[in-house]
Amino acid sequence: MRLEARPSDSPVLAHVNSIPVLPFGTRSRREVVTLYGQADTQALALALAATFESERMEASTSSVVRHLGVWPDRGAVGDSAWRDGATGRLVTRDLDIPLPTLEARATELLGACGATIRRVAAGLAMPDWPEGTERALTFSLAGNASGGGQPNDEDGVESWLDSIRQADAYSYDEPEAD
């Protein structure tokens, strides 16, 4: 999760880019969500909804790469690409997720793990980030929010808080209790 200044020529809320599993298996699949402008809970929920909806639309393969833009009036638009396992050919697909679909999934996510989403947005909006530091946090939603199970808001919250305290290799000491 990253926060950047809003591009002056675009009303885009967020970009979602996937990072596939490396061939030698050193990293699991990840989604990089970049919010633009203010760290807003609703914009974050829409961007997360775009990740889940785009994953739901695709065949389950660890090598798929997705690039999506999330717009406030249009929904999510982008594409995905992967290598066909049988032929080795590059397969591409346009993705277009309507705003009502994103809003419905965002509402579901906020209902299931709203506290975590609000904490991430608040962490990105914290005013005391060191100057010149990229505002970026790593977190995961436990469970399977794209179907089957629901994310569990309590799983991983402490490790998420630790990631805030150590963002970009800066440590923040907590005051000791007397």
pTM value is 0.74
Q: Give the closest residue to 30 by CA, choosing from 112, 143, 139, 116.
A: 139
Confidence of residue 3 (pLDDT cuts 50, 70, 90): confident
Strands (E), 72-116: 75-83, 90-98
**Model confidence pLDDT, tens digit, residues 24-58:** 655 666 788 999 988 889 999 999 999 889 888 76
CA distance 118 to 124: 10
CA distance 40 to 31: 18
Check residues 152 and 96 and name the one with the higher pLDDT.
96
CA distance 32 to 1: 6
Confidence of residue 19 (pLDDT cuts 50, 70, 90): confident
**Model confidence pLDDT, tens digit, residues 83-127:** 888 888 998 999 999 999 999 999 999 998 899 899 999 888 888
pLDDT of residue 95: 93
